[in-house]
Structure 1
Amino acid sequence: MNGADVLCDVLLANDVNVCFANPGTSEMHFVAALDRKPEMRCVLGLFEGVVTGAADGYARMTDRPAATLLHTGPGLANGLANIHNAKRALSPMINIVGDHASYHLALDAPLTSDIESLASPMSNWVRRIEGPADVAAATEAAFRASLSPPGIATLILPADAAWGEAPIVSARKVELAQPAVDMGAVQNAAEAIRGAPGRAGIIVRGRAARADALAIAGQISAAHDVRLFSEVLVARMERGRGRVAPMRIPYPIDAATALLSDIDVLILVGAKEPVAFFAYPGKPGRLVRDGCEVLSLAAHGEDLKAALEALRDELGIRSTQQFSAATGFPDEPAPRGKLTDDAIALSVARKLPANAIVCDEAVTSARRYFALSAFAAPHDYMMTTGGSIGEGIPLATGAAIACPDRKVINLQADGSGMYTVQGLWTQARENLDVVTIVFSNRTYAILHGEMKNVGVGAIGENARRMLDLDQPALDWVSLAKGMGVEAARADTCERFDALLDSALSRHGPFLIEAVI
């Protein structure tokens, strides 16, 4: 038994049974070990950003880590942007980064790099395996680190640790402790809510944004007139009819500060205090007003649902308290004629199958979808959380691997989609049930807005050429078909509705280029 076999066995013993991979020479012994472990599902990505983004989508839907397999420092570096997004989503992930044999490092071969320094800023935990005898302990530690609390664990695997003979061990399941609810924090939050009637808010994140925990938050909201919010970028929220629907804090600073201007007490449940995405001249960085009391009920890694239950009990609210939830869809006529992003949002929300998963990287397009999603069929909703674009296609890929019996809808901006378009190939190869809707406005529209936000009134030809995706225009139908994904184009509402109906009625990947 070599070190690579031991690493696989420890992962499998702890239900880490999916490996998203883009391997190279230093990982060949690990690839050979995977070949001997049919229980491990191996998914190839043609670019490391697809690999890490897919592992993020998988983790968000399963609450457990997948493994990634990356080739030395440059391979890790290619995947760092979506590791950053995964870290901001608080997703568990185990990155296995192959490296040269330990005795080869001194020769400074072309792929030699400081992997620890590359990994550390985007990881919660980093460890280099010392040799074959260290593989089992290091892998167990990586698994524990990926879930205590959930986050990014990066394990560096030297080639000689992979191919070297390792002690035969009986792989065991790692036991994880569950933190108790902090009753002091519960009492402080209850006292603050009682002292600010109608002027208290709660921000939910992580497992506090699941339907059962949201129902408890909704009971607190109804009984004490507490306003419910989610963060600007949503890692995962269970949305739809019959579920409590928090209001998402807006991205624009003026809108966000106006929304929070009358909040005297803000209680965080697995969340952080909201801040502006960027600094702008003359605008605040904090979104809550000066004097607002910000309290943490429970932090990431703690039992958020139990904390909300304890707060409900501390406030004397009955578990049978009714809460407000959306019911029927708004009475709004179906759009006709030229296709718009609002028309797409309305159509998707209306037609969404029950139990679907929506991955939203539409950026400036389909902004109305989130509000409409409260009235859609019950579903899961996810966004790119770290602001690093290029995760929509991989996120949908990982979600579809995690939940093969659920339809996945990817709302995808065209500019950010080009960062990881290779993920379509993985969807085709794995026959994943993903409908990708590309908002083809042929520009980085968000950057046009940001130019205005920083005070630039008009842009010239040089700036325009930095922001627009024309000359030539992207042909998403050809791109998708070249990756093995069936695709079609729509520029009217009628054509889009027909294509969406067709895509939802069948299994397998399909792409709609929505020209807006």
Structure 2
Amino acid sequence: MNGADLLCDTLLANDVDVCFSNPGTSEMHFVAALDRKPQLRCVLGLFEGVVTGAADGYARMADKPAVTLLHTGPGLANGLANMHNARRARTPMINVPGDHASWHLAADAPLTSDIDGLAWPMSHWVGRATSPEDVGPKTEEAWTQSIATRGPVTLILPADSAWGEVEARTPSKLPMPVPPAIDEGPLKAAAQALKSGKRCALFLQHRALRERALEWAGRIALATGADLFHPQSDRGQRGAGRVAVRMTPYNVDMAIQALEHVEVAICIGAKKPAVFFGYPGKPSSPLPDAAEVIQVAEHEHDLEAALQQLAEAIGLTAKSPFKANAFVQNEIAEPTGALTPATIAAAVARRLPQNAIVVEESVTSAGPLAALSPGLHPHDHLPLTGGAIGEGIPLAIGAGIACPDRKVVAMQADGSGMYTVQGLWTQAREELDVVTIVYANRKYAILQGEMRNVGVNDFGENARRMLDLDRPDLDWVLMAKGMGVDGGRAETIEEFCKLLDHAMKTKGPFLIEARI
């Protein structure tokens, strides 16, 4: 047994059985060890951002971490943007970049870099296996930290720690980290605020947006009149029979208007609301300055238990009523007219199957489907959480690996999709049941909106060259077919509906380019 074998065995002992990878020379002993462990499913991504984004999507749906295999510092650096998204989504992920043999570092070879320094800003924990014997304990610590802190961790594996021999052993399964207790002080303060008659709002994030947790939030809202809001989160459970939660608007002025009535903000999993960017003369938080903020529970707490305890503190029980979304999907009319985000949303909403997974990176086109989602079949929603674009296609890969029997519908903007378009190849290779809908407006529309937000309404030649995606136009159907994914282009809503009907009835990856 060598260090790489021990790494694999330790992961498997703790139910980590998927490896998203893009390896290099320093990781060949890890690759060889994986070849001896068929229980570990290996999924190749053609770019490290696909690898880390897929691991994020997998953990969001599987509720357990995957491991990533990355090539030294540059490979890790290529994956950092989607590690940032996973960090903001509080997604457990074990990243294993290889490094040169420890005695070779002094030679300052071309790929030598400060891997520790690269990893820390996007990791909740960073460790380095200093010897083959150190691999087992460090792997156990990495797993524990990824679960306890709910975020990405990085275990650096020098080549000599991977190839060095160790005494054969069978790793044991580690105990699941216990969430910390919820502080009674903020809990009592929140209960008093809810009973005081003040205008309260609950801000929910992470596992507070799961179905059973939402039922407790719904009981509180119905009994007290409190509003329910959420920022972008890792995974929300939406649809009929569930409790609707309003997303805090992205636009700063709309967010300020939406929250202008809030006297007490009760945060469970979420932090005090913040706007995405700072603008001249605009606040960092959309809350009124006088609003009181009570942080009841952080992401690492048991958020369902926190909501239950808060509900019980104001006299509610599991039998207390809540307002569930009505099922109105069958009442949505078949769309007609131009091909727009609104008509696309109506077409998708009418056809969304039971228990689907909606991956959301449509950026400026997301609103219409979100408005319809409460009345649809129950489904999961995975949005772009950290704001680093290029995660939609990889998230769909991870969701498809985690839930092979569920339809994945990926709503994808064209500009951000080009960051990780290589992920379509992985979807084809793994035969994933993913429908990718590309909103092909041929521009970075979100950035055009941000230009207007800072007072620039007339775009000159240089601005247009940086914000438009034309000359030449992107051909998504050709790109998809070149990577093994079938697809078609729609320029009318009738063409779109025909393609969508085919995609929903067909098992496997399919791409629709919607020319809006």
Q: TM-score, length-normalised on structure 2?
A: 0.98
Secondary structure at the residue paired with 1:426?
helix
Give 1:301's aligned residue. Answer: 300
Return the letter of the residue paired with 1:282: G
The answer to whether structure 1 residue 413 and structure 2 residue 413 are counterparts is: yes
CA deviations over 1:299-335 (Å, ceiling 9, x no partner):
1111111111111111001322221122132755332
Return the letter of the residue paired with 2:2: N
Secondary structure at the residue paired with 2:28?
helix
CA deviations over 1:206-243 (Å, ceiling 9, x no partner):
11100111011000000011100111x23110000110
* Farther-moved stretch of structure 1 (128-137 vs 161-170): 161-170
Unaligned runs of 5+ in 1: none
Matches of 1:375 and 1:357, distance apart in 2: 15
* Farther-moved stretch of structure 1 (117-126 vs 314-323): 314-323
Secondary structure at the residue paired with 1:368?
helix
* Farther-moved stretch of structure 1 (44-53 vs 285-294): 285-294
1:462: how far off? Answer: 1.2
Return the letter of the residue paired with 1:482: G
Give 1:29's aligned residue. Answer: 29
- Alignment map for 1:138-287 (pairs within 5 Å): 138-175=138-175, 176-197=177-198, 199-231=199-231, 233-287=232-286
CA deviations over 1:28-64 (Å, ceiling 9, x no partner):
0000000000100000000000000000000111121
Task: Tell me if structure 2 keeps the 8 A contact 1:342–1:366.
Answer: no
CA deviations over 1:86-138 (Å, ceiling 9, x no partner):
00000000000100000000000000000011001000100111010100000
Matches of 1:141 and 1:196, distance apart in 2: 47
Matches of 2:149 and 2:160, distance apart in 1: 31
Give 2:43's aligned residue. Answer: 43
Task: Tell me if structure 1 keeps the 8 A contact 2:332–2:346.
Answer: no
Task: Tell me if structure 2 keeps the 8 A contact 1:71–1:99.
Answer: yes
* Farther-moved stretch of structure 1 (489-498 vs 328-337): 328-337
Task: Tell me if structure 2 keeps the 8 A contact 1:196–1:265.
Answer: no
Matches of 2:185 and 2:366, distance apart in 1: 42
CA deviations over 1:51-82 (Å, ceiling 9, x no partner):
00000000111121100000000000000000
Aligned residue pairs: how many? Answer: 514
Give 1:489's aligned residue. Answer: 489
Secondary structure at the residue paired with 1:374?
helix
1:170: how far off? Answer: 2.3
Matches of 2:181 and 2:333, distance apart in 1: 50
Root-mean-square deviation over aligned CA pairs: 1.0
CA deviations over 1:156-215 (Å, ceiling 9, x no partner):
000000000113232011112232333333212101111244x10001111110011101
Secondary structure at the residue paired with 2:466?
helix
Task: Tell me if structure 2 keeps the 8 A contact 1:196–1:264.
Answer: no
Return the letter of the residue paired with 2:187: V
Matches of 1:180 and 1:103, distance apart in 2: 45
Give 2:125's aligned residue. Answer: 125
Give 2:318's aligned residue. Answer: 319
* Farther-moved stretch of structure 1 (167-176 vs 506-515): 167-176
1:345: how far off? Answer: 1.1
Matches of 2:130 and 2:35, distance apart in 1: 24
1:457: how far off? Answer: 2.3
Matches of 2:346 and 2:248, distance apart in 1: 21
- Alignment map for 1:73-88 (pairs within 5 Å): 73-88=73-88
Secondary structure at the residue paired with 1:140?
helix
How many percent identity over aligned positions?
Answer: 60
CA deviations over 1:433-452 (Å, ceiling 9, x no partner):
00000000000011111111
- Alignment map for 1:461-500 (pairs within 5 Å): 461-500=461-500
1:272: how far off? Answer: 1.1
CA deviations over 1:419-462 (Å, ceiling 9, x no partner):
00000000000000000000000000111111110111211111
1:351: how far off? Answer: 1.1
Secondary structure at the residue paired with 2:42?
strand
Task: Tell me if structure 2 keeps the 8 A contact 1:229–1:247.
Answer: yes
Return the letter of the residue paired with 2:23: P
Matches of 2:167 and 2:112, distance apart in 1: 28
Secondary structure at the residue paired with 1:419?
helix
Q: TM-score, length-normalised on structure 1?
A: 0.98
1:282: how far off? Answer: 1.1
Matches of 1:61 and 1:250, distance apart in 2: 25
Give 2:383's aligned residue. Answer: 383
The answer to whether structure 1 residue 136 and structure 2 residue 144 are counterparts is: no
Task: Tell me if structure 2 keeps the 8 A contact 1:55–1:93.
Answer: yes
Unaligned runs of 5+ in 2: none
1:366: how far off? Answer: 3.2
Secondary structure at the residue paired with 1:494?
helix
Matches of 1:222 and 1:245, distance apart in 2: 12
